Amino acid sequence: MFGSLLRFFRERAGMTQEGLGGHAGYSKSQVAMVERGERPPKGRLVEIADETLSAQGALLAAARKLRTSALPAWTATYAEIEADATALHTYANHVVPGLLQTEAYAQAAISCNYPPLEDEEIAEKVAARLARQQLLQRRPTPALSFVLEQITLTRPIGGCSVLKEQLQHVLEVGRRRNVEIQVMPSNRETHSGLNGPMILLETQDRSQLAYVDGQSGGYFINEQPSLGDLFGRYGTLRAQALTPEASTELIEQVTREL
């Protein structure tokens, strides 16, 4: 709502995002992110915008009511559902998924964001990501499975030492009785997950839900036949991947070589 209000006053004043950014020391993309609600206003943006756009205190009043989260709105909704899930199944093709990330790896991954985030924002997002890992300790214990592309084991996000610590953590989590981790080898000739990553969940009432994350945000799928197709696709992915035992051996080998 704050972002929408900012955009209203900016457009009423006939000013571009780039023009407002010039007054406040922001880039055009940063102003756009505030207007879309993807980042909170920082520095003196609110004061400068209120004066420059002749908002007569409206933006100042709105900012006092502003409550921000380190998670985008769509991710915050997902995190709430995830926290209560009885089962969760994840296919990851670029990075180690958030539930398995170490603090150093999470910080390195989030720091890759474009446009670049401020240090404070990075710290908030890292804390929010690590907080989601309480699911691993929750009782009753949820059933968790992960299918990781082999590249996630070798892409040195944050450097080799960070990656090595990350792989050791993956091995540790994989020893839990309620967790199964499989690796999709890079030499596989058939692959049912080429459309991208996905997360499948089962809720407390045993209903099923899928979450797909993309460049501009995430969305839920809860209707047939799309939902059934995703669960079927994930089942095929698990059959195509290495077994949990063979996956552990591969992760251990990669870890030793770092």
Q: Say what the pLDDT of residue 76 is.
A: 65
Instruction: Please give the torsion angle defined by the CA atoms of residues 185, 240, 100 and 140, in that order, rounded to the nearest 10 degrees.
Output: -160
Cα end-to-end distance, the chain, whole Å: 47
Question: Strands 143-149 and 179-184, how do they pair?
Answer: parallel
Q: Say what the pLDDT of residue 69 is.
A: 55
- Structural domains of the chain ordered from first start: 2-64 (1.10.260.40), 73-257 (3.30.870)
Is the pLDDT confidence value at 68 over 70? Answer: no
Is the pLDDT confidence value at 104 over 60? Answer: yes
What value does the mean pLDDT of the chain take?
Answer: 91
Predicted confidence (pLDDT) per residue in 109-164, tens digit: 999 998 888 888 899 899 999 999 999 989 999 999 999 999 999 999 999 999 99
> Burial of 139 by CB count in 10 Å (0-12 exposed, 13-18 middle, 19+ buried)?
exposed
Identify the bridge partners of residue 198 per DSSP, sorted by sequence position: 91
Q: Which of 53-67, 156-170, 177-191 has the lowest mean pLDDT?
A: 53-67
Query: What is the C-alpha to C-alpha distance for residues 130 and 4, in angstroms, rounded to an integer?
Result: 30
Predicted confidence (pLDDT) per residue in 28-54, tens digit: 888 888 898 877 887 788 999 999 999
Query: What is the C-alpha to C-alpha distance for residues 52 and 35, in angstroms, rounded to an integer?
Result: 16
